[in-house]
Amino acid sequence: MRSVVVLPTFNERANIERYVRALRAAAPDVELLVVDDDSPDGTADAARALAAEFGPIDVMVRTERRGLGEAYRDGFARALASGYDAIVSMDADLSHDPVVVPTMLDLLGGGAEVVVGSRYVDGGGTANWPVHRRLLSSWGNRYTRSVLRIGVRDCTSGFRAYRAEALRTIDPGSTQAEGYAFLTEIIRRADRAGLQIVETPITFVDRTAGTSKMSGRIVVESMWRVTRWALTGRRRR
């Protein structure tokens, strides 16, 4: 399958070379699309410069609409228009290990339509996370699974792989959420569409360079939208 990683970035210059080096070592045939929110630290320029050593890197710089959800909506649209068979989403801070990418693509090749890199299945976990982050993530995912009645154990994981046809069915361009709520909205649509979703274990490692984009606003939006989707679904039934 012709495959691409869609990589949202904002101020990830400290991580981008290590990330590209790791991806090329683990999955040399997988292409890369960097979707940068006009990072003041020059992440986009750093990514372009890496192409001289590591081969073509497509860099999309967004100067108006910003945020994780918008970055993925734009990145997925470009990937689908470019004719890729498989699209992978990842974080740029090496929290997601590129070594897992070939496994995810193999699962797509074996019949899965969406593959989720999961912290909450056997073999998965987190490393170097403070206790409050582990508790917040674990509780948030349990709440989401319960109220939305979704079987996926890690609804907020950003490490995923999609068949192109599945992503078209999900239609990310019509989603509205940002942050982790965007990730939940995508997996909710996949579940409601009856797509074959498979979880594979990953170890999420907290970043060692750069600044986390997590904020209280992101958490509040995620819980608000999940609760609203649950209530809307019940009224329709």
- Is residue 42 helix, strand or coil? coil
**Does residue 237 register a pLDDT over 60?**
no
Distances (CA, A) of 74 to 25, 43, 135, 183, 191: 27, 18, 32, 14, 22
**Does residue 234 register a pLDDT over 70?**
no
User: Which range, of 3-12, 19-28, 71-80, 126-135, averages the lowest pLDDT?
Assistant: 126-135
Alpha helices, H only, the chain: 13-26, 43-54, 68-81, 101-109, 131-148, 164-170, 179-192, 216-236
Domain count, the chain: 1
Q: Rounded to whole angstroms, how far apart are CA atoms 86 and 56? A: 18
**Does residue 134 register a pLDDT over 60?**
yes
Q: Are 58 and 36 in contact (CB under 8 A)?
A: no
Q: Are 53 and 128 in contact (CB under 8 A)?
A: no
More confident residue, 113 or 213: 113
Q: Is the pTM of this model over 0.85?
A: yes
Q: Which residues pair with 34 in a beta bridge?
A: 7, 59
CATH number, domain containing residue 209? 3.90.550.10
Domain limits for position 131: 3-236
